[in-house]
Amino acid sequence: MSWADTVQIAIYLGALLLCVKPLGSYMAWIYEGRWSCGLERWIYRAAGVKEALAMSWKCYARAFLFFNAAGFAAVYAMLRIQQFLPWNPQSFPAVDAHTAFNIAASFVSNTNWQSYGGESTLGYFVQMAGLAVQNFVSAASGMAVMAALARGLGSQGTKSIGNFWVDLVRSTLYILLPLSVLLTVILMSQGVIQNLNPYVTMAETGQVLPMGPAASQVAIKQLGTNGGGFFNTNSAHPFENPTPFSNFAECLALLLIPAALCHTFGCLVKDRRQGVALLATMLVIFLPLLLLTVHAEQGNMEGKEVRFGTTSSALWAVATTAASNGAVNSMHDSYTPLGELAPFFLMQCGEVVFGGVGSGVYGLIVFAVIAVFLAGLMVGRTPEFLGKKIEAFEMQMASIAILVPPLCVLLGTAITVVSPMGLSGLQDRGAHGFSEILYAFTSMANNNGSAFAGYGANTPLVNIAGGLAMLMARFWVALAVLGIAGSLAQKKIIPAGAGTLPTHTPLFVGILAGTVVIVGALAFIPALALGPIVEVLR
C-alpha cells in the first residue's frame, strides 16, 4: 500500500466516525419520541394507527410480518402486470413467475439480490413504486426491530417493546427520507441521472442509452443498505456513479447509518459505553479484512473502473459486504483469491460487522448474548447482559438467529451444486465455479445482495431457492430478536456486582469479536476450503 492509499482509507474512516455521534444522537432522539410533526400524525390517522398503543413482542411481530407480506404481494403483482403499467419506456413485458418471486423476496427482505438487468427488464413505475418504496420500508423495518430490542433491554417489568407502526413511520419520515434527499442532490450535482425520459438511441452508433430516475434510487439503496442497482452493472455504471466524489459519498453512505445506530443503541439503553463497545467490535473485525483486501488487490485492475482504481474498489467491496448492502463498483469475480476471501467472510460472519440498518446492530447484540452466556459458563455464574439475566428462552432464540443463515447458505449451495440447472449458469468450473455458487447463496441468505458477476443465477431453481433463503434468513432472525426483546422487557434490571461481566470494556470487545469470528469460521471454513482457500493455495 502507498501513502496515498493509507490517506484515502484514513479520510474515509475519519469521515465515518465523525458522523457517528451526531447522527446516532439524532436517531435516538427520534425513537424516544421527542419530535413529531403534522405529517406524522396525519399518516397515523389515515392508516388507523393508534400512536399510544403499546405492543407486546408477539403483537409487534405480527405487525412486522403483516406489513412485509403486504409489501411482497404488491411488488410481485407489479412485476407480473408490468406491461399494463405506466412509465414503461421500452414496453417491457411481465416478469416471469420465478424471477418475480425472487425479486419480491429480495427487496422485501432488504437483500436486493438481482439476477436480472434493471435497465433491460423493469420500467420506471416498477423501479419507483415497487423497488424504491421497498428500499425505504424494508430498511425502516430493520431499524424498528433494533429500536424494539433496545427498549426491551432498557425497560423492566413490562410486556411492551413499542409500536411497530410508529417506529416504521419515524424511521422513514425523519431518518431515511431526509438523508436520501440530501444524498440525491449531491449525486445529481455529480452527474447521476434523474429523469423520466425515453431511452436515447445514438444516431452514430445505434447504441441505446437507458435513462430513468436513478439518483433517488441510488441514494436510498446506499443509505438503507439495500444495494439494488438501477442499472445491471450497479455502481460501476457511470450513470449511477460517475466521479470519484460520487464514489466517496456513496461508499460513505454504505456504513453511515449502521455505524451511527451503535451510538443510538447506547443512548436508548442509557449507557453510551455499550454503543462504543459495539462499534469497536465492528472495527476490530472490519479493519484487518479491509487492509487484507486492499493489499491483495494492488495492481489488479481486472473488473475495476479506471476512474476509481484498486483502493477505492477494494474499500467499496469490503464496506458493501460488511454492511449487508450488495452494491458494487467493481466485479468481485475478478478479485484475487485472497481479495475475495474478505468479502466472503464478512458476509459469513452473519452481516453483523456494521451489517444492515438495524439488523447489523441487533444481530451483533445476539452474538453478545451468546458471548455473555459462554463467559458465564466459564465462571459458573448465571450470565447477564445490561443487568438482565440470560436464561433458556433467550439462548433458544439466539441459537435460531445465528444458525438459520448458515443453514440457508449451505443447504442452498448443496442443492445447487448437485443440480444440472444450478450448474448451468457457471462461467467457470472447479474451485472458482464452486466459489461463485457459494458466494451467491452467502449473499442471499445473509441479506447482502452482491454477486460475483460470473454466475448466471436467473434460473427457476436458483430464483426459488434463493428467494426462500432470503425470506427465511431475514424474518426468522428478526422474529427471534423480537422474542428476546419481549422476554428481556419483562425482567427486572439486576444491579451490577463483583461477579458481573462488564460489557463495555476492551476485554468484552475481544470476547465478542472472537465469538463472531469463531462462529463464522466453524460454520463456513469447510465450504471456504473447497473454494477461495483452494484458489489461494494452488
Question: What is the per-residue pLDDT for 463?
Answer: 93
Residue of 170, 281, 265 lying closest to 485 (CA atoms): 265
Handedness of CA 27, 110, 253, 367 (dihedral sign): positive
Element at 201 (helix H, strand E): strand 200-201
| Spatial separation of the C-alpha atoms in residues 164 and 62, rounded to whole Å | 9
Instruction: Tell me which amino acid residue 325 is.
Output: N
Q: Which residues pair with 389 in a beta bridge?
A: 384
Of the candidates 221, 229, 195, the one whose C-alpha atom is nearest the C-alpha of residue 117 is: 229
Residue 350's pLDDT is 85
pLDDT at 138: 95
Cell digits for 4? 496515498
What confidence score (pLDDT) does residue 494 get?
86
Query: Distances from the Cα of 89 to the Cαs of 92, 121, 211, in angstroms?
Result: 8, 11, 9
Length of the chain measured in residues:
538
Alpha-carbon distance values, 252 to 10, 57, 107, 142, 260 (Å): 12, 34, 22, 20, 12
* Integer Cα distance of 99 and 147 in angstroms: 33
SS3 349: coil
Residue found by looking up cell 431518518 in the block: 175
Given a cut of 90, whether residue 267 has pLDDT beyond it is yes
H helices within 306-391, ranges in order? 309-322, 337-348, 359-379
399 Cβ contact list (under 8 Å, min separation 6): none
- The string of pLDDT tens digits covering residues 195-207 is 999 999 988 888 8
pLDDT score of 301: 93
Phi and psi based region of residue 458 (left: phi greater than 0; alpha: psi -120 to 50; beta: remaining)? beta
pLDDT of 292 strictly over 90: yes
- CA atoms within 13 Å, Cβ hemisphere of 313: 27
Domain limits, the chain: 1-538
| pLDDT tens readout for residues 419-433 | 999 888 887 778 888
Residue 538 has pLDDT above 80, yes or no: no
Contact indicator for 503, 368 with CB cutoff of 8 Å:
yes
Whether the predicted pLDDT of 284 surpasses 90:
yes
CA atoms within a 13 Å half-sphere pointing along the CA-CB vector of 164: 22
Longest dimension (CA), the chain: 79
Separation between Cα atoms, residue 313 and residue 333, nearest integer Å: 13
Q: What is the distance between the alpha carbons of residues 76 and 78, in angstroms, rounded to a whole number? A: 6
Residue 94, classified by CB atoms within 10 Å of its CB into exposed (0-12), middle (13-18) or buried (19+), is middle
Single out the residue of 394, 373, 379, 393 nearest to residue 512, CA to CA.
373
| CA pair distance 32, 9, nearest whole angstrom | 34
For residues 132 and 176, the answer to whether their CB atoms sit within 8 Å is: no
Confidence of residue 522 (pLDDT cuts 50, 70, 90): confident
What pLDDT, on the 0 to 100 scale, is given for residue 427?
Answer: 78
Closest CA to 513 of 371, 356, 321, 318: 371
Contact 217, 229 (CB under 8 A): no
Do 260 and 23 meet the contact criterion of CB atoms below 8 Å apart? yes
Tens of pLDDT, residue by residue over 209-237, are: 999 999 999 999 999 999 888 998 899 99
CA 143 to chain centre: 11
Residues 6+ apart with CB under 8 A from 156: 489, 490, 491, 492, 493
Residue 522 CB partners (closer than 8 Å, separation 6+): none
Lowest mean pLDDT among 144-153, 357-366, 426-435, 475-484: 426-435
Look at residues 146, 158, 151 and name the one whose alpha carbon lies nearest to residue 386: 151
Of the candidate ranges 337-346, 367-376, 409-418, the one whose mean pLDDT is the lowest:
337-346
Per-residue pLDDT band for 498 (boundaries 50, 70, 90) equals confident
pLDDT digits (tens, 9 = 90+) for 40-67: 999 999 999 988 889 999 999 999 999 9
Determine the pLDDT at residue 63. 96
Is 75 within 8 Å of 438 (Cβ atoms)? no
The pTM is what? 0.94
In angstroms, the CA 439 to CA 449 distance is 10
For the record, the C-alpha cell of 61 comes out as 411481530
